[in-house]
Structure 1
Amino acid sequence: MNAEHYDAVIVGAGFAGIGAAIQLKRMGYENFVILDREDDLGGTWYVNHYPGLAVDVPTTTYSYFFEPNPNWSRLFSTGAEIKQYADDVADKYDVRRHMRFSTVVEGARWDEEAQAWHVALAGGETLDARYLITATGFLSQPRMPDIPGITSFDGRVIHTTAWDDSYDPAGDRIAVIGTGATAVQLIPELAKKAADLTVYQRTPIWVAPKLDVRISERTKRLFARMNWTQRIVRAITDTIYEMMINIGVVHYRVPLFRRLNISAMDLCKINQFIQIRDKELRRRLTPDYDIGCKRPTFSNSYFRTFTKPHVHLQSDGIDHVTADGIVNADGTKTVIDTLVLATGFDLWEANFPAIEVIGRNGRNLGKWWRENRFQAYQGVSIPYFPNYLSLASPYAFLGLNFFNTMEYQMRLMDRLFGELKRRGATTFEVTEQANTAYLDRMTELLGDSLWTLGNCASSRSYYFNPHGEPSLLRPMSTRTAIKEAAAFPVSDYEIS
């Protein structure tokens, strides 16, 4: 059976894959396919639909800059609205017709003789493509906790990435394992109906007040008629978030900026004090690491939930799980009906890369990363991997907003593919020299950041790879990253 041939294969139909597809179409490419293992588009915003799901970045900022949406109902919109935005963008830019759902990609291998990628699908089918783009996202591989006896539990087990919409928590005795950003949204919702709720916390999280507001119909009409008004609001929210990451985290070495970081922690403590007066409970819910070491979150109800008589915080640890409950580290037992796993995602072991990618001379990307440090030029390119862009790579994630990441990556694609067309070329590969210089520069910039200078040892943050390096994040401002993406030296790539 002959393989199908494409100019490009994009793996992943979330916002990164949609953005890459839009950029390809802008550059005149139409013969491409987007593959996704799910049965619909949207990535993490399709997979996740647990109660309370909402974006924790203002949606004026959490959206494509070139596609403002006047229909947001709130400043921090719900997951359902974000999913609808993904649908609307895909339809408007005519990329849905390029998508193939329920398609599992097992791996990709570069064929030096054919100058093409062979993409292997589950079931034995193979696709050939000149260019390969993996847009698998950072939050795509659920982490399952390794707790003795967890498979012996006879009750209902739900991971937040596979929420059962038919489940009614009313009257249930529920245990939630995890207190990350997902749990902060979910726990107050479960507490409304549960008969008894026990929250198992390994690491506390910094929670700031959420300055959420409803967007009126009048304002929506204004945004639709004069979109520059919405861009003004975006400029404000963009600036606030840029200040948060650049002043409080990236330039942590500056004494004044370090003081502002401390002020942010004080704000979170005030938020906690307003909701909880029990001093011991506040102590157990207060992190001992600096804010920014792991992703902080926002809520006006999370702390208050723990003051309810039927909600219990268990922070001493789990010994093992039994058929009907959890035996705590202190020997006590909590009998439950439902176990909810809010245990997040496996970024480094299962996601870098999310599929097996074999480049030139048989180089295995996952093996090479683990043996030679996690690295990627401009957060997208790796030596020995021609015609390949990895949009979820080391040093790719920019600030607190994934759309900032996508914006600079689309600019890079425009410059890189534009150079290919200008030269009449078909192949690109970043040079080892450029990649090494970029890695050295990222390492130097991280030396001034909170992630290197701050107290992050106890944070258990997914920002840090297994070797302890904070190589997920790009330590620079959005403006700098976009400028670099549009003006990097084309000599950093071998183009032929």
Structure 2
Amino acid sequence: MSTANKPLDVAIIGAGFAGIGAAIRLRQKGITDFVILERDERVGGTWRDNTYPGAACDIPSRLYSYSFAPNPDWSHTYSGSAEILRYIETMVDGFGIRPHIRFGHTVTGLEFDEATGLWTVGLADGRPKLRARSVVLASGPLANPGFPNIPGLDRYEGHRIHSARWDHDYDFTGKKVAVIGTGASAVQIIPELVRKAGSVKVFQRTPGWVLPRVNRRTNGLTKQVYRQVPGAQSLAREAWFWGHESVALGVVWKSPLTRVVEQVALAHLRGQVRDPWLRRQLTPDFRAGCKRLLISNDYYPALQAENCKLVTWPIAAISPQGIRTAEGIEHRADCIVFATGFEISKQGTPIPVIGRDGRVLADEWRGGAYAFKSVTVAGYPNLFLTFGPNSGPGHNSALVYMEAQIDYLTDAIGLILDRDLRMLEPRRERQDRYNARLQRRLAATTWNSGCRSWYLTEDGFNATMYPGFGTQFARQLAGVDLADFELTTRDTVVIR
């Protein structure tokens, strides 16, 4: 077989945090026959796409980074999107990942061949298909912008911008701007728009719990200490980790600490908003943690600016000139900003995935996505997910969870290569038992306590969050237990 036709050991889909992290760990394990397939022309994923004004992470930088790639030079407690993107690019070059990346390669589908134990990777634009012994699906849950299902959306004649595809050429000066959404992106965007636009109307469906944000600049001495004494930065990261772990007691489950979180948020609201009616409109009627907590010091002041107005009437339709609300008023706008999040695959897959015996993963996930320990799925051998079903944290850094998944899947890929396995597949009975227990635990969490959020499917199935501490999630992925898997060698005849 020619080198050109030789199957890859690993194909990684996506060059965001997950794909780059997986590539680094593979190289560190001595696995170098892999490619990263990236549809864009630059790495970064979410942090390449989200460049809206004020874009920043709401997890401290020391914690929103990989433990195996510490950065002593974070400028603030919470970093902006441009600085996070630079961190990703630094990892790419520092760990020698760039030669493995194939930019402009859009994956159109995956199909498994049981006879050979290989995945076929379909590519757009007439590019030849690739074959790989293992696939890491690292495209991420926050890859494709999501627009709300509002009548008349396509009839709007003004300018339309989504927070994840920001138009930096559009001049907001003096414009009438409408913002749909009051979530994590919106609370960062709105203060910036209020400073520039002629007027801003914020359309709120439900208010969120907003906590104050303490964002300190990192001084030169601290950076020098972190650079010269790496253990100091590790200790700082550990401190942030355990601080956030403790928050789980208040936001993952209802406890006395839940009331403390709510009281802090309400005190923040009272301290920044004097008008009782506006405070009432901004007070959530659901438990703290049921939706994502928001962190901002300038959101409430922005809503009270002379050129800003909060609209709480439901949106009935988008009109050619603006937004019509349920009471019949048309709010004219030169530009509508959609801070409405992403298309999350809670009941499907971002690309078609065909597994053993022709099964289709999107069909199996129609009632809600599931996996074994969030990483592998029965019926889809040698396929590994990052940020898979039920791997979302509500209180800690996503990268802590992602790093645990990456170490687990790279260990599993190492087993496939070292033992020359044709298939490594989780046992269905173990997968079913794992998910039944997971859903029982989720029933007792704040996420399943009655509020409407993107964590849940329309019928209330939670395919997104992990019902526990970050330490518990990492512990279950601390090693690959071969008893959890069916292992098929190349010379094994499979009869099903």
Identify the residue that residue 212 of structure 1 maps to in structure 2: 215
Q: State the secondary structure of the residue aligned to 1:119.
A: strand
Q: State the secondary structure of the residue aligned to 2:384.
A: strand
Instruction: Check whether the contact 1:242–1:477 (CA below 8 A) recurs between aligned residues.
Output: yes
Identify the residue that residue 110 of structure 1 maps to in structure 2: 112
Mapped partners of 1:444, 1:209: distance in 2: 33
Q: State the secondary structure of the residue aligned to 1:476.
A: coil
Change in CA separation of 1:289 and 1:239 when aligned onto 2, cut-off 3 Å: same
Identify the residue that residue 307 of structure 2 maps to in structure 1: 310
Identify the residue that residue 379 of structure 1 maps to in structure 2: 374
Q: State the secondary structure of the residue aligned to 2:402.
A: helix
Provide the aligned length of Structure 1 versus Structure 2: 484
Identify the residue that residue 492 of structure 2 maps to in structure 1: none
Spell out, residue by residue over 1:5-50, the C-alpha distance to the aligned partner (whole angstroms, 9 max, x if none): 3111111100000111112212222111111111110100001100
Between stretches 88-97 and 439-448, larger displacement belongs to 439-448
Instruction: Check whether the contact 1:415–1:486 (CA below 8 A) recurs between aligned residues.
Output: no
Instruction: Check whether the contact 2:212–2:265 (CA below 8 A) recurs between aligned residues.
Output: yes
Identify the residue that residue 449 of structure 1 maps to in structure 2: 445
Identify the residue that residue 157 of structure 1 maps to in structure 2: 160
Q: State the secondary structure of the residue aligned to 1:162.
A: coil
Spell out, residue by residue over 1:443-482, the C-alpha distance to the aligned partner (whole angstroms, 9 max, x if none): 2322332233x3x33xx21111333122211222222222
Identify the residue that residue 176 of structure 1 maps to in structure 2: 179
Identify the residue that residue 260 of structure 1 maps to in structure 2: 257
Change in CA separation of 1:11 and 1:185 when aligned onto 2, cut-off 3 Å: same
Letter in 2 for 1:376: A
Mapped partners of 2:123, 2:99: distance in 1: 19
Aligned residue runs from structure 1 range 230-245, under 5 A? 230-245=233-248
Aligned residue runs from structure 1 range 69-468, under 5 A? 69-124=71-126, 125-245=128-248, 247-252=249-254, 258-348=255-345, 352-371=348-367, 373-399=368-394, 400-421=396-417, 423-452=419-448, 454=449, 456-457=450-451, 460-468=452-460
Between stretches 120-129 and 145-154, larger displacement belongs to 145-154
Letter in 2 for 1:141: N
Mapped partners of 1:197, 1:337: distance in 2: 10
Letter in 1 for 2:65: S
Q: Percent identity?
A: 36
Spell out, residue by residue over 1:250-288, the C-alpha distance to the aligned partner (whole angstroms, 9 max, x if none): 443xxxxx1211211111111111111111111111111
Letter in 2 for 1:96: R
Instruction: Check whether the contact 1:200–1:315 (CA below 8 A) recurs between aligned residues.
Output: yes
Structure 2 gap ranges (5+) = 489-496
Instruction: Check whether the contact 2:22–2:410 (CA below 8 A) recurs between aligned residues.
Output: no
Mapped partners of 1:317, 1:483: distance in 2: 44
Q: State the secondary structure of the residue aligned to 2:133.
A: strand
Between stretches 425-434 and 208-217, larger displacement belongs to 425-434
Identify the residue that residue 28 of structure 1 maps to in structure 2: 30
Q: Give the superposition deviation at 1:211.
A: 1.4
Identify the residue that residue 13 of structure 1 maps to in structure 2: 15
Mapped partners of 1:467, 1:357: distance in 2: 24
RMSD between aligned residues: 1.8
Mapped partners of 1:182, 1:226: distance in 2: 35
Identify the residue that residue 255 of structure 1 maps to in structure 2: none
Change in CA separation of 1:336 and 1:84 when aligned onto 2, cut-off 3 Å: same
Q: Give the superposition deviation at 1:434.
A: 1.2
Structure 1 gap ranges (5+) = 253-257
Instruction: Check whether the contact 2:346–2:463 (CA below 8 A) recurs between aligned residues.
Output: no
Spell out, residue by residue over 1:124-178, the C-alpha distance to the aligned partner (whole angstroms, 9 max, x if none): 3211111111001121121112222222222211111110112221111100011
Instruction: Check whether the contact 2:134–2:413 (CA below 8 A) recurs between aligned residues.
Output: no
TM-score by length of 2: 0.94
Q: Give the superposition deviation at 1:487.
A: 3.3
Spell out, residue by residue over 1:195-231, the C-alpha distance to the aligned partner (whole angstroms, 9 max, x if none): 1100011121111000111111221111111122222
Mapped partners of 2:34, 2:202: distance in 1: 46
Identify the residue that residue 494 of structure 2 maps to in structure 1: none
Instruction: Check whether the contact 1:184–1:299 (CA below 8 A) recurs between aligned residues.
Output: yes
Mapped partners of 1:311, 1:318: distance in 2: 18
Q: State the secondary structure of the residue aligned to 1:222.
A: helix
Spell out, residue by residue over 1:390-423, the C-alpha distance to the aligned partner (whole angstroms, 9 max, x if none): 1132122244321012211122124423443554
Change in CA separation of 1:280 and 1:193 when aligned onto 2, cut-off 3 Å: same
Identify the residue that residue 475 of structure 1 maps to in structure 2: 467
Mapped partners of 2:331, 2:439: distance in 1: 46
TM-score by length of 1: 0.94
Mapped partners of 1:414, 1:336: distance in 2: 50
Stretches of 4+ aligned residues off by more than 6 angstroms = none
